[in-house]
Structure 1
Amino acid sequence: MSDAPGFGVLLQRLLANRGLHADHLARLPDLDPDELELLLRGSLEPHPVLLRALATALGLRPADLFAAAGWPVPAELRPAAPQARAQVTELVLLARACEPAELLRLRRFARSLWPVQPEPPAPADDPAPGHGFGPLLSALMANRNLSATGLAAITGLTGAALAGLRTGERPATPDELTALAEALDVRADDLFALAATPLPETGLTYAYLVRPHLGGLVGDLVPLPASRLAWVLALAHDPR
């Protein structure tokens, strides 16, 4: 879709999802009121300092907001072990069969392994996502080190369906957006905003059953180096 909304429009939608107005953000010490006004009017392009401050204020992953704004994701916000994507996929396939309590245990274990000191920056991939929801979806997957196989396993969407979304051959349906939001561990209304799709007037429906906490587990793995990710994978092989 080449008619994706500008960042100012997207920011207005993200604010509306939270019942907030620009005045709420303007009171925050890290956000300049004049910059914010220009941004919302579409007269100013976002910059990295502003994107980080907005992500904190809105409770979003900074890497996702960088991608949504069309900026390259900074190296320190990328997965620490991009070479371990196959292991993340294997973990997803194993975790699908876990009981909820076992999934929570895996999440707690993964978070307990987060490094105190940041890992060296991961090598950069593509410098910035393209325009439209398809490239953005690919960027959101990359932010989580999540393969197409892994995302299909979490959502229940077919590989062909995901490929169609990522290439922009067709727009995502509301049911697909709801499933993708759960898999990516983001608010459903935010993903609808990112896709420039209005929320259904009749409310969200859940045609695809996504296991609770599975998307969150994938996000918990992002800071882990490959050696520690292997420990989580070992626990998933024998969670009891």
Structure 2
Amino acid sequence: MNAVLQPQQEFSAQFSGREVLPHHDGPLFRSVEELRYQVYCEECGFLKPEDCPGGRETDEHDGNSAHFASLNHSQEVAGYVRLVLPDAIQTFPFQTHCVTLLDDVILPPASLSAEISRLMVRKDYRRRHGEQPPSGASTDQPDPAPAPEMRNPSPQILLSLYREMYAYSLQNEIRYWYAAMERSLARILTRMNFGFQQIGPATDYYGPVAPYVADLRVLERQLDQRNPALLAWMRSAVDLT
């Protein structure tokens, strides 16, 4: 047991990630919807408040998604992300906005893929200037400009969410992750050894973003070479479920 707990103390000591089941975890999922409203309606202005009754943001993809939250020691929601699964015609939300791909890009099978969506951190937990990233991440760049899916992220919250997505993906035979994000966020993930490959030009999708894809087998090899302790911590989430 100690071998499993030790990595968590290093990479995400202040936060714990967990999957949120909307119909089972009702109060927790309402807190998630309220955070989504705060970020997408009040802070970023991506959505109109009048279109989100009750101060909670939802959309048509929620029923076809796996939801994850990062909780602080008081069990309050500090961050959120979802994995959107392919729809009935095997497509993803980003494909309705990022319709052009770079030359020679071949998309992986939809049945093995999911789209990272609504990645966000609560305002009072976003990384402040001078805060240190987790072990293994570079500190040679300033904080990025705000990105639509997550602005100035707390590294611990980000890692706790990615750990949960990774565990879910392994358990459900998902190998590829899509994400529409700003270049600044892609650079952060690369420095944290989560490299995504850009597959299309930038477009307006809740702000200027480009589509990216990551192969989890490639990410595993990169982490095994550059930060094996982080990979062990990521994998330990699978053992705990």
> Do Structure 1 and Structure 2 share a fold, with TM-score over 0.5?
no
Could you say which structure has the greater relative contact order, defined with CA pairs below 8 angstroms and 6 or more residues apart? 1
Q: Which has the higher Rg, Structure 1 or Structure 2?
A: 1
Greater percentage in helix:
1
Greater percentage in strand:
2
